[in-house]
Amino acid sequence: MNSPNALPDPLTPVGADAISRFRLDGKVAIVTGGTRGIGLSIATTFARAGARVMVSSRKAEHVEAVVRALRAEGHDVLGLASNMGKAADAHELAARTVEHFDGIDIIVNNAATNPIFGPLQTATDEAFDKIFSVNVKGPFELCKTAHSVMVERGGGAIVNISSIGGITPEAGLGLYSMSKSALVSLTKVMAQEWGADGIRANVICPGLIKTKFSSALWQDHAIADKVLGHQPLRRIGVPDDVAGLALFLASDASAYCTGSVYMVDGGYLS
């Protein structure tokens, strides 16, 4: 006779079975902005977790270098130079992934741009259009195009990379913060509308991460000291800090998670 305190059967598998839920064996993943910083760490982590990965970035030579390095480790990886600010490139990225890998299971929208720094009144229409085209419309076009493919495979996982600026606007980064806030909202809309299709969508908001993209911030000692003086974990983040969470959200380990916003900021917004 079972003890009245015994766990129900669905909860009893632990150990090796639980760990295996973090694996991505056989899954097909697209990682945009996947040749440096956070995107490179995510693409590498996913490949090492067993995923077949399509690496996308704007510069072909950078894509080719990453593909060579990951293939040298024995991973099934393909690359495509894409400008996520162009809808046609986003559509081609989805089509080429399906053509080569026969499907799409995971999308990580990491590609982003921020060509300006300063107050809103100095922002140009050109800067506005570029930032929103890459940071918001690109993810929208890619995911919308991949939706039917994911549905045919029984569902999938979308991981959007936003920023703490998408939660609390950052000084001098007004348009960027606005675009990242829009990406948070887009994630929640996709989670609500596509959940019945088995597609989960979650968003990660990194704080100060040591990448080339954010070098103007962490290389400025006054800015870095101000950030570190405010956050509980007194260090600047590294790309792998984000990749670990991305792996969780892309894997079956997070099967009951969708529409959520996750901070990777050392507690800065706590």
* Mean pLDDT score, 161-172: 94
Selecting among 176, 256, 262, 268, the annotated active-site residue is 176
Gap between the Cα atoms of 43 and 192, Å rounded = 27
> Does 1 have pLDDT greater than 50?
no
Annotated catalytic, 256? no
pLDDT band at 13 (very low <50, low <70, confident <90, very high): low
Please give the residue that has the higher pLDDT: either 205 or 3.
205
Gap between the Cα atoms of 141 and 88, Å rounded = 9
CA 184 to chain centre: 12
pTM for this prediction: 0.91
> Does 14 have pLDDT greater than 60?
no
Q: What's the whole-number average pLDDT of the chain? A: 92
pLDDT band at 211 (very low <50, low <70, confident <90, very high): confident
Q: How far is CA 8 from CA 2, 4, 13, 16, in A?
A: 10, 10, 10, 18
The edge-to-edge listing of strands for the beta sheet with 199-206 is: 77-81, 52-57, 28-32, 106-109, 156-161, 199-206, 261-264
Give tens-digit pLDDT for 58-96. Answer: 999 999 999 999 999 999 999 999 999 999 999 999 999
- State the pLDDT at residue 264: 97
> Does 200 have pLDDT greater than 70?
yes
Secondary structure class of 197 (helix, strand, coil)? helix
Domains of the chain: 9-208+238-262 (3.40.50.720)
